[in-house]
């Protein structure tokens, strides 16, 4: 019976398949086969034995059910794999797992999983980056009010907002690629890292195995690949989740009834917003993204705790990693794809964008007037104080900014009415926003 929502609700089949029992068993077998081939290359075992082990190191021959049955007796999951593989390899079975400790196999298999999973994450990130760049191009001139501290600030463009998110996703793509040299690492170092069980060819065997599997070799290790690498990986996944949380939170806020500058696409023919309020159009995908991002981010604490194991290792990391690694990857895959879908189908409401931009009667253009005055020779601080007082006057008197500007002698002394009209037009105060978007989307 399925219990965890990952089993039936979240994550793509492609990502989940990487962490399924049979797939993980196959990774263990892949590592055992590579180890046998390395031993044969250095002359430790017959070539024929390596060929047999390689042929049988497949879940067609080594069944999950058989491994579970052996584990029930041995109380050791990896030893159960070794015994199950040895059973089907005949005389060559005596060479299975030669010199290795359990985590030579487990950690190297982990790296193989990371390699596949990061490829999906990277693909998802590139798809989202493309979507955001397309939106930035489309809305390069869509002027809206910017907000700081939840208050109207000065004009911004939606193109700049989307370009900002695209560049952040771009940095995550860079981080994924940069992390691979530290994360996609395996090892064959034996019980405490000395490679004593591999003899004089220990370093060569490790290099042969990792080259065979397309992984980097740990420079030095104890019984495990050091968990600062895993902490970096989980932190990276959490950092990506934090950006998706940020994007989704902005979608949610801009979807508020009293703002409604944009919203998720709502399927009018059948989608239900509430079981009791028929009119509701809730931002359910954005809320889902924010909620699941919290789970991913919380796993960082566990990954950091796993860095400081005792002596050459203890087992406290094992149980938690069985949870946080697949969970983080699968949930991130879910919210990456969901974010891309939300943004590809995002609906903007130009009339509401214009309404909100004009809501304060031009107050968002106070800075523009201040800068206009400085160009006329008025000191910056003097201009700031004047506009501060005029803004207060406008609010108290329920007047527009232009009304109080045209009533003020200092303003009239330096700016004509036509100059004021030009300055307080939001279209004329978006700075280099268009140029910045072009720089981002043209890369």
Cite the active site residues.
149, 274
Instruction: Give the Cα separation of 267 and 35 in Å (integer).
Output: 54
The torsion angles phi and psi of 63, rounded to 5 degrees, stand at -85, 145
Q: Alpha-carbon torsion 160, 165, 171, 174, what sign?
A: negative
Helical spans, DSSP H, in 139-157: none
Count of Cβ atoms closer than 10 Å to residue 257 Cβ: 6
- Of the candidates 329, 430, 396, which has an alpha carbon nearest to the alpha carbon of residue 113? 329
Q: Strands 347-348, 262-263: parallel, antiparallel or unpaired by DSSP? A: antiparallel
CA dist 287 to 187, 257, 264, 307, Å? Answer: 41, 16, 11, 32
C-alpha neighbours within 13 Å on the C-beta side of residue 157: 23
DSSP state for residue 186 in the 8-state scheme: E
Helix, strand, coil content of the chain in percent (nearest 5): 70, 5, 30
Residue with tokens 């045209």, as numbered in its chain: 406
Count of Cβ atoms closer than 10 Å to residue 8 Cβ: 9
CA dist 422 to 19, 374, 384, 405, 419, Å? Answer: 60, 16, 19, 13, 5
């Amino acid at each position: 019976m399925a219990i965890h929502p990952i089993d039936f609700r979240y994550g793509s089949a492609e990502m989940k398949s990487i962490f399924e029992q049979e797939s993980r068993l196959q990774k263990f077998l892949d590592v055992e086969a590579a180890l046998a081939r390395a031993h044969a290359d250095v002359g430790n075992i017959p070539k024929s034995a390596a060929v047999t082990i390689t042929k049988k190191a497949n879940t067609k021959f080594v069944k999950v059910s058989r491994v579970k049955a052996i584990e029930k007796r041995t109380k050791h999951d990896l030893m159960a794999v070794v015994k199950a593989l040895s059973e089907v390899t005949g005389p060559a079975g005596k060479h299975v797992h030669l010199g290795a400790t359990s985590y030579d196999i487990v950690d190297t298999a982990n790296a193989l999983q990371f390699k596949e999973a990061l490829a999906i994450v990277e693909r998802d990130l590139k798809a989202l980056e493309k979507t955001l760049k397309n939106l930035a191009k489309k809305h390069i001139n869509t002027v809206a009010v910017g907000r700081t501290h939840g208050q109207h600030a000065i004009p911004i463009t939606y193109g700049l907002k989307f370009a900002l998110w695209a560049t952040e996703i771009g940095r995550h793509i860079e981080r994924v690629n940069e992390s691979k040299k530290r994360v996609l690492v395996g090892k064959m170092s034996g019980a405490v890292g000395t490679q004593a069980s591999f003899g004089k060819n220990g370093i060569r065997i490790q290099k042969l195995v990792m080259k065979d599997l397309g992984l980097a070799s740990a420079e030095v290790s104890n019984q495990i690949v050091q968990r600062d690498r895993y902490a970096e990986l989980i932190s990276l996944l959490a950092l990506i989740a934090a950006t998706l949380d940020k994007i989704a939170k902005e979608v949610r806020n801009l979807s508020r009834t009293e703002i409604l500058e944009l919203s998720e696409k709502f399927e009018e023919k059948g989608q239900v917003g509430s079981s009791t309020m028929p009119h509701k159009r809730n931002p359910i995908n954005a809320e889902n993204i924010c909620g699941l991002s919290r789970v991913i981010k919380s796993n960082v604490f566990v990954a950091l705790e796993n860095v400081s194991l005792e002596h050459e290792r203890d087992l406290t990391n094992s149980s938690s990693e069985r949870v946080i690694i697949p969970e983080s990857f699968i949930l991130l895959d879910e919210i990456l794809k969901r974010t891309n879908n939300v943004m590809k189908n995002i609906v903007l409401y130009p009339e509401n964008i214009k309404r909100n931009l004009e809501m304060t009667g031009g107050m968002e253009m106070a800075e523009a007037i201040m800068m206009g005055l400085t160009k006329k020779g008025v000191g910056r601080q003097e201009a700031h104080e004047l506009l501060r007082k005029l803004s207060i006057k406008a609010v108290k008197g329920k007047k527009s900014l232009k009304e109080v500007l045209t009533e003020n002698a200092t303003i009239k002394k330096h700016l004509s009415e036509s100059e004021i009209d030009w300055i307080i037009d939001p279209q004329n105060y978006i700075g280099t926003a268009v140029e910045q978007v072009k720089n981002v989307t043209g890369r």
